[in-house]
Amino acid sequence: MFAIITEVAEESDPSSEGSMISLLDIAVVSTLIGLAFYYLFWRKTEDTMDFQRLNIVPAAKTEDSGLIGKMKTLGKNVVVFYGSQTGTAEEFSGCLAKDALRYGMKGLVMDPEECNMEELSNFSEIENSLAIFCMATYGEGDPTDNAQEFFNLLQQDEIELNGLRYAVFGLGNKTYEHYNAMGIFVDKRLEELGATRIFELGLGDDDANIEEDFLSWRERLWPAFGEYFGIEAVETDISLRQYQLTVHEDLDEEDQYYQGEMFRMGSYTAQKPPYDAKNPFLAPVVVNKELFKNTDRSCMHIEFDISGSKIRYESGDHVAVYPTNNPELVSKIGELLKTNLDTIITLTNVEAESNKKHPFPCPTTYRIALLHYVDIMNPVRTHVLKELVEYAKDPKDKEFLEKISSTTPEGKQLYSEWVIKDHRNIIAILEDLSSVKPPLDHLCELLPRLQARYYSISSSPKVHPDRIHITAILIDYVTRAGRKIQGVTTGFLSLKKASNGDCPRVPIYVRKSQFHLPFKPSTDILMIGPGTGVAPFRAFIQERDFLKSQGMFSPFTFSFGIFIKYIPNTTTMLHVTLVSIIFLLFFSFLFNVCFILSFD
């Protein structure tokens, strides 16, 4: 730097007077530069010294920053964790949290995905504390998506749970091989890690009556809880509202409230990957055709266009579809309760510290909530019927609701016959018990969330990289009471057909599965679909046929009891060999099952 300045000064003027000025300039510039270096050096040094003199203390962790802190802050001593895929376990958890009030306790419902579950080892800090786990099993013995990290944690040996007192209720289906695997695992593993079980494991079977299983376990849990802690039940009103209603009169633009989005307002108008449960992709339905001919049953082959979405899938994965309730049935609720469905509302949790601020995305309208967020089609649970008692103006209706929502043998039998077997949803309840007029905001609070439905993908990405195929039977029947019932999602999908080149869009996302083809194409496979399960096998056959065209092929056998016409459209893709027929005959003899092969 100095060299450059000197050279410039020396070259500026060769005269003697000019040389004197140049030397003066050099002196001034040099002095300024020296002062600048001095200032910068000592400033930096002093700043460093001041910084070193500071007493740096890490930010104190606030008492309510974790699960235990939150329980202390809110005065909670019962926490109910749920592992839920369809919403049932979450619904049961809410019931258990309310039950705690009967023993003067305060319950908190928590999603294990939103907690540091390692804090379970600190539960001894809270007096008379109890952790209840409502854990559903998904697929082939797997945890639900929101319980995966908790499942991984429990497999470690480092965590100690000596101060934890717990009870577990599992939700499963006996038609699956690994019945209630997650509930059984959690119950056993907690004990192995030192926790104390205060009540026996409960198991609910969704193939029978899972709510009855839950109620039976629930009514025995709390007396055991009271006996363990030496606490007696108290008379208290447990029909407390969890959410407070706010009506918005200042919101009149559609971009100011939710229109059916799952998480981010406006995400359906400005779609951005990646796509998942909170951010589904609006996929065009490009094909929707009927597979059954000349029959009263309906089976749909549907194709979603995923080009440009960056969605990737494998054969054997599932696609989740978010349905919309029938608009006519939604309007019927508004008529029955004499409520303007276009009112813009927000339901806010009365506990400001709760992780779940709203039961569904808010603000929104009643109509949008009933269309996209609230389950209005499934049979009404007993805890909802119990809450409706206070809104019955007719003494007969009130008495009937009290009986049908009770845990007496007569009440259970009446509920099974009148609600379950007759499939009475909330609309049927309001129609048949005409004096029952609950506020719509309370009804929206009580009813469970409308959940995505999962379908096995029936296409291979190697053959259809830009499309996802599904195969769906339309649920459509008439109840004993003469009411027409249609499946929420299949009924929704049956109407999604292209018209004049315009393809309707459906919110979807892909859920990964463990049900995949062997990694090596040379591995032989045997597929058995005795009357069901053709969808993923169709994808497998497509993929093996593609691999065959690439020179990588191994024989496979498909034993089936369905119409062969739906298997992909080339005769080379599926060979019903003598081995297949012998296998079918063997199964027919062993299990007394009749297999029908149709080639027409």
28 shares its domain with 100: no
In terms of domains, do 77 and 199 share one?
yes
Residues 312 and 388 in one domain: no
Residue 438 in any domain: the answer is yes
Which one of 514, 540, 555 terminates a domain? 514
Domain that holds residue 23: 2-51
- Coil/strand/helix, residue 168: strand
* Alpha carbon 65 to chain centroid, angstroms: 25
Backbone angles phi, psi at 464, to 5 degrees: -130, 75
Pairing relationship of beta strands 130-138 and 142-143 according to DSSP bridges: antiparallel
Residue position matching structure tokens 């096995």: 456
Task: Please report whether residue 600 resides in a domain.
Answer: no
Residue 400 and residue 259 in one domain: yes
> Is 309 in contact with 282 (CB distance < 8 Å)?
no
Q: Single out the residue in 168, 202, 229 at which a domain terminates.
A: 229
Q: Give the residue among 476, 112, 135, 124 at the shortest CA–CA distance from 290.
A: 476
Please check whether residues 215 and 350 belong to one and the same domain. no
For residue 547, give both structure tokens: 């691999």
Q: Which of 489, 514, 539 is the last residue of a domain?
A: 514
State the number of CA atoms in the 13 A half-sphere of 486 facing the CB: 16
CB atoms under 10 Å from CB of 94, counted, come to 21
Cα separation, 383 vs 136, whole angstroms: 20
Domain CATH number, residue 128: 3.40.50.360
- Confidence (pLDDT) at 34: 52
Name the E strands within 39-151.
Answer: 78-83, 107-110, 130-138, 142-143
125 and 17 housed in the same domain: no
62 falls within a domain:
no
337 and 247 together in one domain: yes
Residues 220 and 84 placed together within one structural domain of the fold: yes
Q: How far is CA 9 from the centre of its chain?
A: 76
Local structure of 469: helix, strand or coil? strand
pLDDT tens for each residue of 316-371: 999 999 999 999 999 999 999 999 999 999 999 988 777 789 999 999 999 999 99
Give the span between the Cα atoms of 400 and 433, in whole angstroms: 9
Handedness of CA 44, 47, 51, 53 (dihedral sign): positive
Distance CA 199, CA 229 (A): 12
Domain holding 382: CATH number? Answer: 1.20.990.10
Please identify which residue in the block is written with the tokens 């083809």: 517
3-state class of 117 per DSSP?
A: helix
Instruction: Look up residue 64 and give its two tokens.
Output: 């309510």
Question: Which residue's entry shows tokens 């003697």?
Answer: 16
- Whether residues 371 and 421 share a domain: the answer is yes
Give the pLDDT score at 236: 59
Is residue 572 situated within a structural domain? yes
Taking the CA atoms of residue 70, residue 76, residue 78 and residue 84 in that order, the dihedral angle to the nearest 10 degrees is -50
Number of domains in the chain: 5
CA gap 525, 294 in Å, rounded: 34
Alpha-carbon span 140 to 172, nearest angstrom: 10
Q: What is the CATH number of the domain that holds 296?
A: 2.40.30.10
Q: Are residues 115 and 201 in the same domain?
A: yes
Helix (H) or strand (E) holding 40: helix 16-53
**Threshold 0.85, pTM exceeds:** no
CA distance 462 to 544: 10
The verdict on residue 569 lying in a domain is: yes
Give the whole-angstrom CA distance, residue 81 versus residue 195: 16
Q: Same structural domain for residues 134 and 100?
A: yes
Give the pLDDT of residue 86. Answer: 87
For residue 236, being part of any structural domain is answered with no
pLDDT tens per residue, range 455-505 = 999 999 999 999 999 999 999 999 998 999 999 999 999 999 998 889 999
- The verdict on residue 288 lying in a domain is yes
Residues 345 and 480 in one domain: no
3-class DSSP state of 128: coil
Residue 453, SS3? strand
Q: What element of type H or E holds 200?
A: none
Instruction: Please report, as a single letter, which amino acid is at residue 36.
Output: A
Cα separation, 164 vs 490, whole angstroms: 44
List average pLDDT for each run of 10 residues in the chain, which is 600 residues long.
32 33 43 46 40 33 68 91 93 91 86 93 92 93 94 92 96 92 98 96 92 93 91 69 94 93 95 96 97 87 97 96 98 98 96 85 98 97 95 98 94 94 97 98 96 95 97 93 94 94 96 87 78 80 87 70 51 44 46 40
- The whole-angstrom separation of Cα 236 and Cα 503 is 54
Torsional sign, CA 519, 523, 528, 529: positive
Provide DSSP, 333-386: HHHHTT--TT-EEEEEESSTT-S---SSSSSEEHHHIIIIIB--SSPPPHHHHH
Question: What does the pLDDT read at residue 525?
Answer: 82
Find residue 556's DSSP bridge partners: 525
- 257 domain-assigned: yes
CA-wise closest residue to 475 among 463, 492, 456:
492
